[in-house]
Structure 1
Amino acid sequence: MTTPQTREEPVTVRVFTQRFSSTPRGARLARRLALLQLDRWGIPHGATVSDTAALLVAELAANAVTHGRVPGRDFELSLSYTPGLLLRVDVTDTRTEGRPSLAPALPLAETGRGLLLVEALATRWAVLERVPVGKTVRAELDLT
């Protein structure tokens, strides 16, 4: 008895990971390097996916340096790209408490709307525990 042969396309997952200082400058650098890496992967500047990813990285990195900062500790950006299927943005910090939530902002408040942007732009997002300490905020974009 022979088993039927199925032909499957190979799947290549591309990954970029970098640590940045927990400062506004580190957050800006994370956004710029994310855009550069996406361009290297064939997602050009100005494309919808590139622009959306830039906003997600900017918002999550800004939150990491503002709310997740621990003096002397960096935050980490990780991009995972499966062409034609998925783009994942992970931003990890070392602060365990103060988990992000979608609390409504006051009408005239100048802050508090970042995760509303993430909710609107990402296909899905979640907060994951980081072992041994910290958390990862993950945003995913379906590309199908």
Structure 2
Amino acid sequence: MPTPPTHPPAPAREFFQRFSATRRGARLARLLAALQLIEWGHPRGTGDHDAVTIVVAELAANAVLHGRVPGRDFALLVRHDDTRSVIRVEVSDTRSELPTHVIPAFDEDHGRGLVLVDALAARWGVHDRVGPGKTVWAEYALSPGPGSPASGQAAQRRKPGQQPARL
């Protein structure tokens, strides 16, 4: 009896959605990304789920606060790359100004978004997009798990203070 052909797992899974450039849109982006992570096998309360959700929340908030153009949306792409064992988050807005990575004073109540992204992501950067604006992206190296491509390897993370890539 012939054996049925087996197909390797898909190397990448994607979630893409456009959101209104409002605080409500940023919140919805975070919530839907969190649900997608659960569907991909990263349950709430795990380090991978929580870290990627924070990255999405911070990049979406920046798109709404700093990249907003009245009447224009922002876009979120979350890609789970099984081959590389990373989750890539991309947030595109219609402003061309680059994000500024500064260390805020201790008593400031804002300005920590990119500091968090820098701490959680293996690497991050900015690139131009088709049409007006830019895309800010971050890659999160998944924790090694049983049977994962990264098993037995330490996740390679960018050193603190190392500049993000500009592509």
TM-score (norm 1): 0.88
How many residues were matched structurally? 135
Output one character per residue of 1:97-138: Cα deviation in whole Å (capped at 9) or x when no partner. 2x1121232332111111011100101000111122101110
Higher-helix-fraction structure: 1
Separation of aligned partners in 1, 2:126 and 2:113: 14
- CA RMSD of the aligned region, Å? 1.4
Fraction of identical pairs, as percent: 54
1:33 aligns to what SS in structure 2?
Answer: helix
**Displacement of 1:11 after TM fit?**
4.7
Separation of aligned partners in 2, 1:123 and 1:23: 28
**Displacement of 1:40 after TM fit?**
1.0
Separation of aligned partners in 2, 1:115 and 1:124: 12
Separation of aligned partners in 2, 1:47 and 1:83: 18
Residue 91, structure 1, aligned to residue 91, structure 2 = yes
Cross-structure match for 1:127? 126
Higher RCO (CA < 8 A, seq sep 6+): 1
Gaps of 5+ in 2: 1-7, 143-149, 151-167
Cross-structure match for 2:78? 79
TM-score (norm 2): 0.77
Gaps of 5+ in 1: 1-8
Output one character per residue of 1:57-98: Cα deviation in whole Å (capped at 9) or x when no partner. 11000000000000000001100002361100001101112x
